[in-house]
């Protein structure tokens, strides 16, 4: 495998050949974001290179509804990321764990090898994917329990768990996961608001709450029930939009560490950069509001002024001393969850979708 394996996971990796988990036909998602269709029967060499690369392999598009290009809805994640997540889970043999998002079964098999397969329950929402995971797991004699269902509810019959690991991302951390983790336990969860859905959080669980810290960048597909896509801008956007100008570069406002602060303030809004012969345009798209920024020209329409909000959020981030992402944390309780900077009293933004 083209990745460094942390020593405690070496035996699990050796006992779990990734090729037993990858379907004969899939899509190799390379690190430069290009995709290569792979087919074991027609090009076994490329298939094997994909399997033993450090890249994700996409195993389902559009919830299985379509062939060809579409949204990625299931995969065998990047091996190095899988191992980082498992290592951050800080497990010991004999602990119990719940995995949300079985996918191919690969990460569940690794976990089962380390802590004992009887101690791992994994939940997959898609029945076909759950079935093929069961077949894959049988190939490595891994009798972890695969449940077909919505992992947003956790799995009460198996609780409390020492550890919870999600391999689909959330904006709102389901409280069921906190409730079903033993106090003192840990949860590893990919998290982020729509404009910055690429953070790996490590939660320490208390008696009735959990506190999370960002540990890494990580791109994951959303948990099904938390998917959200805004509509495109309306056809008459040019006519209805207010126009103004800006001195700020959208790439800076949505730059590395600022992006999370802006994303939190904007809530349910998506950012899309489009390039054509005239240059680059940033689109901000929310359910009822739209903005475009191109070459300093700003156009905004709808209920909100999204670029004005982005500029205000960016100023807030500068005023706070340009905090880097690990300074942002989340507290999750039964009533609500909130993001804070440095200390729990310094609340940044209430996760809007939870309150809507």
Ligand X SMILES: C[S@@+](CC[C@H](N)C(=O)[O-])C[C@H]1O[C@@H](n2cnc3c(N)ncnc32)[C@H](O)[C@@H]1O
Q: Which residues bind ligand X (CB under 6 A)?
A: 73-77, 100-101, 103-104, 106-107, 123-126, 129, 150-152, 167-168, 220-221, 223-225
Considering the complex, state which of residue 57 and residue 262 has its C-beta at the smaller distance from ligand X.
57
Minimal distance in Å, beta carbon 190 to ligand X? Answer: 9
Minimal distance in Å, beta carbon 105 to ligand X? Answer: 6
Considering the complex, state which of residue 220 and residue 328 has its C-beta at the smaller distance from ligand X.
220
Minimal distance in Å, beta carbon 74 to ligand X? Answer: 3
Considering the complex, state which of residue 115 and residue 223 has its C-beta at the smaller distance from ligand X.
223
DSSP label at residue 75: E
Supply 131's token pair.
Answer: 């079935």
Considering the complex, state which of residue 46 and residue 225 has its C-beta at the smaller distance from ligand X.
225
Spatial distance between the Cα atoms of 304 and 30, rounded to a whole number of angstroms:
37
Q: Is 77 a catalytic residue?
A: yes
Express the helix, strand and coil content of the chain in percent, nearest 5 each.
30, 35, 35
Spatial distance between the Cα atoms of 117 and 1, rounded to a whole number of angstroms:
23
Written as one string, the DSSP assignment of 143-172 is -PEEEES-GGG--GGGPSEEEEEESSBBSS
Spatial distance between the Cα atoms of 18 and 1, rounded to a whole number of angstroms:
9
Minimal distance in Å, beta carbon 8 to ligand X? Answer: 18
Catalytic residue among 53, 74, 77, 289: 77
208 DSSP β-pair partners: none
User: 122 in helix, strand or coil?
Assistant: strand
Listed residue (324, 200, 203, 185) closest to 255, CA to CA: 324
Considering the complex, state which of residue 109 and residue 285 has its C-beta at the smaller distance from ligand X.
109
Supply 211's token pair.
Answer: 């506190």
Minimal distance in Å, beta carbon 307 to ligand X? Answer: 32
Question: Do you know the residue count of the chain?
Answer: 356
Catalytic residue list:
77
């Amino acid at each position: 495998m083209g990745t460094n394996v942390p020593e405690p996971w070496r035996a699990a990796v050796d006992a779990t050949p990734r090729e037993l988990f990858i379907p004969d036909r899939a899509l190799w998602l390379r690190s430069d974001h290009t995709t290569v269709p792979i087919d074991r029967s027609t090009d076994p060499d490329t298939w094997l290179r994909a399997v033993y690369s450090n890249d994700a392999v996409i195993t389902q598009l559009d919830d299985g509804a379509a062939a060809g290009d579409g949204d990625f809805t299931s995969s065998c994640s990047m091996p190095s990321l899988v191992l980082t997540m498992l290592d951050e889970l800080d497990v010991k043999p004999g602990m119990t764990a719940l995995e949300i998002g079985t996918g191919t079964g690969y990460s569940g098999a690794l976990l089962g090898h380390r802590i004992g397969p009887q101690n791992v329950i994994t939940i997959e929402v898609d029945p076909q994917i759950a079935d093929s995971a069961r077949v894959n797991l049988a190939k490595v004699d891994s009798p972890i329990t695969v449940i077909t269902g919505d992992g947003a509810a956790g799995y009460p019959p198996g609780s409390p768990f020492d550890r919870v690991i999600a391999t689909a991302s959330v904006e709102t951390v389901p409280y069921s996961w906190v409730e079903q983790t033993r106090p003192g336990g840990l949860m590893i969860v990919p998290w982020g608001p729509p404009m910055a859905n690429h953070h790996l959080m490590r939660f320490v669980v208390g008696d009735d709450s959990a506190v999370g810290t960002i540990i890494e960048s990580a791109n994951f597909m959303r948990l099904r029930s938390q998917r959200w896509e805004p509509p495109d801008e309306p056809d008459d956007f040019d006519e209805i939009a207010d126009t103004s100008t800006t001195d700020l570069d959208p790439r800076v406002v949505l730059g590395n560490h600022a992006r999370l602060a802006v994303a939190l303030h904007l809530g349910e809004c998506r950012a899309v950069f489009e390039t054509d012969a005239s240059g680059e345009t940033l689109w901000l798209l929310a359910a009822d509001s739209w903005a475009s920024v191109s070459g300093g020209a700003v156009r905004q329409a709808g209920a909100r002024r999204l670029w004005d909000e982005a500029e205000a959020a960016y100023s807030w981030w500068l005023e706070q001393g340009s905090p880097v992402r690990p300074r942002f944390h989340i507290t999750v309780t039964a009533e609500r969850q909130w993001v804070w900077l440095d200390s729990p009293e310094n609340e940044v933004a209430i996760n809007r979708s939870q309150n809507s």
